Amino acid sequence: PAPLQQEGFEGVLEPLKPLSDKLLIMRKVDQVRCDQSGINAHFDGASGAFTAEPPKGEAKAGGPSIDQLIRKHHYPNGQPSGVAPTAVAGTFFRRSRVSRYVHSYNQDGTVAATMQERPRDLFDRLFGTIQFGDSSDARQMHLKRSVLDSVVEQYKYYTGGRSPLGKTSRAKIADHLDRIREFEQRAFSLDSETGSGPKRPTPSELLHGGLADPGGEGIDISLDELTTEWRLMADLYASGIQMDKVRFGALTFLAAGERIRLTGDYLYNGEKRYTFDDSRRLKAGGSQGCSHEWWHQFNEQKPNEALRAHAHMKMRELSYFLGRLDEQGTIEANGKTILDNALITISTESGDGRHNDVKRELSGVFHAMSGANGRFKTGQILDLKSEGLDVYNTILDGMGVAQKMGPVDRDHKLVDAIRA
């Protein structure tokens, strides 16, 4: 909620503080133009995240997202071979409308890529799958299931004595392949001691598809279950970026208006901050016992203890992903990390969880972004008092994209305050 954003890093944004010099926090971003009569921010505000447009029906956004306009401008003829055109992934459960969980859209508002919600599916999307010819040969399929087996000869050449690469490049190749092997083991439950490639992939331990959203009534899940799979997804996506297997797309942690009944102790930096037990604390089951009810009950005059714990946890998990792009191993040729060089935007569907005031709900929507190699300010918290559409068009302008979002005849106002 917008009032809690005013606390800066002393409140629910605390987990972003270690990366504060790499991020620009933007408050008072207005998305009221995304309002669509008869529906709430879980639909229209979610669709407006990174598009600044209301939805067009239940399966389309009102326009393209920031990432796809940048991709189209810089790669009109497609990206280099081996790079996924777009990767859309996430850990989420509520799925009554696409805009709840997908946040990368083509020019016509259609989804930019199929959502990958299982670790093994995301792995295949980023690192490829192997075609085995005669699928009846189970033994050969088992032995060659690993994608690493398909590049073993190239690996030997480029890391061997006759390699044209320098020591640093050879070490980086070895590191990348080791990381792929690690994720194969985690995503496919590989016994690392066999050395013969992953066993047949086991299903994700979380619910997916219709089972994950039973009639909109929500599901029971522990914090450990939630964050274990999310962090594997975050690791896979971050490694895809590091290995230049994906340059554009979106990663979702929990859907708009998510319906989960969370349980478990919440620790931050080794300190217990809260014990989640949504259904018991709300004294309700089904949808009324889910965590997002805390947002509906938000009141500036009350402690909002449960809401704060949930929001803090979400920031912790976003910080985990961002941190993976700011490690020592992510330093690029200009001496900066991937997080420094990349454009990463963060947002949510509303600035208030109560649905009885459109302006209040769609004003003050939280946004944050990285600096895109010095194109935008970082290390600050700014009260922009600007429309999301103008913020997004300023980002596009800073990335060299001429096309503007929104109506052609609209008087666009660039938000120079975010420029470096």
How many C-beta atoms lie closer than 10 Å to residue 397's C-beta? 18
Same domain, yes or no: 215 and 307:
yes
Same domain, yes or no: 198 and 219:
no
Same domain, yes or no: 174 and 71:
no
CB distance 48 to 388 below 8 Å: yes
Give pLDDT tens digits for 289-315: 999 999 999 999 999 999 999 999 999
Same domain, yes or no: 161 and 228:
no
| Domain-embedded: residue 76 | yes
CATH number of residue 220's parent domain: 3.40.720
Print the domain residue range for 357. Answer: 2-118+203-418
- Helix then strand then coil, in percent of the chain rounded to 5, is 40, 15, 45
Same domain, yes or no: 390 and 336:
yes
Does the model's pTM come out above 0.75? yes
> CB neighbours of 413 closer than 8 A, spacing ≥ 6?
386, 387, 390
Q: How confident is the model at residue 176 (pLDDT cuts 50, 70, 90)?
A: confident
Backbone φ, ψ for residue 268 (5° rounding)? -130, 120
- By C-alpha distance, which of 357, 402, 396, 405 is closest to 375? 396
> CB neighbours of 33 closer than 8 A, spacing ≥ 6?
48, 52, 53, 54, 387, 388, 389
Give pLDDT tens digits for 247-262: 999 999 999 999 999 9
Task: Assign 352 to helix, strand or coil.
Answer: coil
- Write down which residue in 178, 202, 226 finishes a domain: 202
pLDDT of residue 185: 63
| Domain-embedded: residue 66 | yes
pLDDT(132) > 60 = no
| Domain-embedded: residue 125 | no
| Domain-embedded: residue 126 | no
| Domain-embedded: residue 326 | yes
| Domain-embedded: residue 389 | yes
Report the Cα 313 to chain-centroid distance in Å: 15
Summary mean pLDDT of the chain: 90
pLDDT of residue 197: 32
Mean pLDDT value across residues 34-41: 88
Give pLDDT tens digits for 324-347: 999 999 999 999 999 999 999 999
| Domain-embedded: residue 161 | yes
Rounded CA gap, 268 and 16, in Å?
12
DSSP for 200-240, written as a single string: SPPPPSS--GGGGSGGG--EEEEHHHHHHHHHHHHHHHHHH
Structure tokens at 72: 């189209």
Same domain, yes or no: 273 and 387:
yes
Rounded CA gap, 254 and 413, in Å?
32
pLDDT of residue 100: 95
- Write down which residue in 202, 225, 259 finishes a domain: 202
pLDDT of residue 308: 98
Give pLDDT tens digits for 228-282: 999 999 999 999 999 999 999 999 999 999 999 999 999 999 999 999 999 999 9
Number of domains in the chain: 2
Same domain, yes or no: 258 and 399:
yes
Same domain, yes or no: 303 and 360:
yes
Mean pLDDT value across residues 94-119: 95
Same domain, yes or no: 179 and 302:
no
Same domain, yes or no: 114 and 260:
yes
Q: Give the rounded percent of residues in the chain with a pLDDT score beyond 90.
A: 75
Give pLDDT tens digits for 188-224: 654 444 443 323 335 688 999 999 999 999 999 999 9
Same domain, yes or no: 175 and 164:
yes
Same domain, yes or no: 56 and 17:
yes
- Write down which residue in 144, 175, 202 finishes a domain: 202
Rounded CA gap, 130 and 145, in Å?
7
pLDDT of residue 198: 29
